[in-house]
Amino acid sequence: MKHFYSPHNMGDMEDPDAEAVVGNPVCGDVMKMMLKIAKRTVKGKEEEFIEDVKFKTLGCGAAIATSSVVTDLVKGKSLSDAIKVKNTDVVEALGGIPKAKIHCSILAEEAIHDALSNYQKKKK
């Protein structure tokens, strides 16, 4: 409920490096993820990481909560670590969600993965 009443990282982002919009036509939930990507050097190797992440979600409380949690899970992570975040990680971070709302965690995973994929396409 905390992530529903006080979602983290909700809002717009000016000039995101990556974004994605995903939706579920059955329930009507729609999530937009926006990412700012930066570079840092770790052990002499340059890597890209998610410097900032924002979301906008139109949907139920579970859709908003899973959007909020997934932003917490990926913020500050390297792109190679962020792509490993799964819907099960979102559910676990929330302490569980009803089975009927699992599709919201899947949407959150898809939104992050699609934004990262779009970033890679944009770089090429």
Rounded to 5, what percent of the chain is helix, strand, coil?
45, 30, 25
What pTM was estimated for this model as a whole? 0.91
pLDDT (tens place) for every residue of the chain, 124 residues total: 676 667 889 999 999 999 999 998 778 899 999 999 999 988 898 999 999 999 999 999 999 999 999 999 999 999 999 999 999 999 999 999 999 999 999 999 999 999 999 999 998 7
Q: Which of 27, 30, 60, 106 is catalytic?
A: 27
Q: Which of 22, 74, 97, 104 is catalytic?
A: 104
Respond yes or no: is residue 60 known to be catalytic: no
Tell me, what's the pLDDT at 24?
83
User: Domains in the chain, start-ordered, CATH in brackets?
Assistant: 2-123 (3.90.1010.10)
Q: 24 Cβ partners below 8 Å, 6+ apart?
A: 30, 103, 107
